[in-house]
Structure 1
Amino acid sequence: MRIDVLGVGFDNVTMEEAIDRGMELLHSQGCHYVVTPNPEIVEVCRENPAACRAVNGADLVLPDGVGVIKGARMLGTPLKEKTPGIEFAAGLMERMAREGMSLYLLGAKPGVAKMAGEKLAQAHPGLRIAGTHDGYFHEDAPVVEEIRQSGADAVFVCLGAPKQELWMEKNGPATGARLLCGLGGSLDIFSGTTERAPKFWSDHGLEWLYRLCREPRRIGRMMKLPLFLVHVKQEKRRR
């Protein structure tokens, strides 16, 4: 049973359980996809029914960020722990590498996915990079066909929310991959183009503040966090 936070149902799992589930999906027939909503994406889902459908239709919905954890606790339905998408991806790749599985990287600016692929192949011996494509494309069909031809077991879809969730919902089965994961700006971090918040900041739930200090232009997006908490308080009173 999922934990409802403002209309988005989150799977109540630890990181290890999430990775176990990801591997189960990789070994299952058919196509599956994983999403990693943070408070900003939850707010998008409140306003966008199509995005909400795509997020809730995922086979695994992981809370990316302390805001969702706090919101669930305020509503009296606590989640076990935050499961950041980038850490889930790292754990999944480690397991995939042991089995010689293949991964396709989709998203980011031209050249970034290729750079990320080279670094990930070095970091995870045994992991095969089936191919890469930047996120600057206008037609889905050629990209979908390229992924299908690559024979990738999994695809990291890093197109930003809600585009990546809608893309996976629409195109997932046609790619031939068994698992797609929506991971936002992860390719920038995997490539070294962007630094992730240091451990102290992430351990104290301050990754958002670190990113804001580094990129002040994100202030508009960051304002969704207090709005999310306002909506959680309203929902708590309603319940």
Structure 2
Amino acid sequence: MRGDTVRVDVLGVGFDNLTLSEAAERGMELLHAGGTHYVVTPNPEIVEVCRENPAARAAVNGAALVLPDGIGVIKGAAMLGTPLKERVPGVEFAAGLLEKMAGEGMSLYLLGAKPGVAETAAERLRERYPGLRIAGFHDGYFQEDGPIVENIRQSGADTVFVCLGAPKQELWMAKNGLATGARLLCGLGGSIDVFAGTVKRAPKFWCDHGLEWFYRLCSNPRRLGRMMKLPVFLVHVRRAGRRK
């Protein structure tokens, strides 16, 4: 299910052109649609991975909802003459979805992060979203998919937040989503750490001005290698724009 919108192509990745509130509404539509669906939230780094990895590109484009998490994606789409409405950060999409899920008494399974973090996140989410049911949780340190898939299936979770890092989480959802029995799976990177409070988001000013990436770099200089994907991404966008 992809709604009635035409996806915006950015270097081979098709993004759904939605606002944050529209994305949360679409997520709920998927939850009520029947079957199993998954959501991905690519940033420029993931788009670059998709350029080089056909399996990752297929997994990302195979999602029912592809949301632009990263100001670089927004700038890239504008440079290509196909602007997107706005950036849709994965953690904010998740928060909007959880609020709606809590209102309907739906259940959530958390998969990812270091041991103990998902449990802390679950406790905090219970407090923040009364009505939300926590079906279960598991850290991201596992060797075989089978036991995890079965655990999720047995939990009866409506939604699974899959936070294993890209492109592992996208490939995992594409491969295992249907077998989990969940109606919606969302690839959300480090969101479990944010919900647990072990990682803090940038202050509002930085987020509002598209500088969250810079704040994260200042907070953790070891991210520099990953951040270098952004200028590479913009160079590739410029080249693609010239070929149009």
Which TM-score tier does this pair reach, normalised by the shorter chain?
A: over 0.9
Q: Indicate the residue corresponding to 1:6 in structure 2.
A: 11
| Residue 183 (1) aligns with residue 199 (2) | no
Match of 2:110 in 1: 105
* 1:24-50 Cα shifts (integer Å, max 9, x gaps): 000111100000000000000000000
Please give the secondary structure, in 1, of the residue aligned with 2:25. helix
Question: For 1:193, which of 192, 198, 216 is the aligned residue?
Answer: 198
Q: CA deviation at 1:16?
A: 1.1
Distance (whole Å) between structure 2 residues aligned to residue 14 and residue 207 of structure 1: 18
Q: 1:9 corresponds to which letter in structure 2?
A: G
1:223 aligns with 2:228: yes
Match of 2:172 in 1: 167
Give, as a single letter, the amino acid of the residue that structure 2 aligns with 1:41. I
Q: Select the residue among 76, 79, 85 that pairs with 1:80.
A: 85
Once the 2 structures are TM-superposed, how far is the Cα of residue 112 of structure 1 from its aligned partner?
Answer: 0.4
User: Could you say what secondary structure the match of 2:88 adopts?
Assistant: coil
Report whether the alignment pairs 1:134 with 2:124. Answer: no
Partner secondary structure for residue 13 of structure 1: coil
1:24 paired with 2:3, answer no
Match of 2:208 among 203, 228, 234: 203
| Percent of pairs with identical residues | 78
Aligned equivalents of 1:209 and 1:15: distance in 2? Answer: 22
> TM-score scaled to structure 1, two decimals?
1.00
Matched length: 239
Partner of 1:144: 149
Aligned ranges for residues 116-135 of structure 1 at < 5 Å? Answer: 116-135=121-140
Alpha-carbon distance, 1:138 to partner: 0.3
Hey, what does 2:240 align to over in structure 1?
Answer: 235
Inter-partner Cα distance in structure 2 for 1:64 and 1:42: 11
Task: Report the alpha carbon displacement of residue 110 of structure 1 after superposing the two structures with TM.
Answer: 0.3
1:80 positional shift: 0.5
Distance in structure 2 (CA, Å) of the matches to 1:208 and 1:13: 21
- Per the alignment, in what secondary structure is the counterpart of residue 134 of structure 2? strand
1:65 deviates by 1.3
For structure 2, which runs of at least 5 residues remain unmatched after alignment? 1-5
CA shift, 1:149, in A, is 0.3
Rounded to whole Å, the distance in 1 between the matches of 2:22 and 2:174 is 23
Distance (Å, rounded) in 1 between the aligned partners of 2:21 and 2:153: 29
SS in 1 for 2:108: strand
AA paired with 1:232?
A: V
So what's the TM-score if we normalise by structure 2?
A: 0.97
The amino acid across from 2:136 in the alignment is G
Partner in structure 1 of residue 3 of structure 2: none
Gaps of 5+ in 1: none
**What amino acid sits opposite 1:136 in the alignment?**
Y
1:93-129 Cα distance to aligned partner (Å, 9 max, x none): 0000000000000000000000000000100000001
Partners of 2:22 and 2:195 lie apart in 1 by 23
Q: Distance in 1 between matches of 2:232 and 2:60?
A: 20
Q: Secondary structure at the match of 1:34?
A: strand
- What is the letter of the counterpart of residue 44 of structure 2? P
RMSD: 0.4
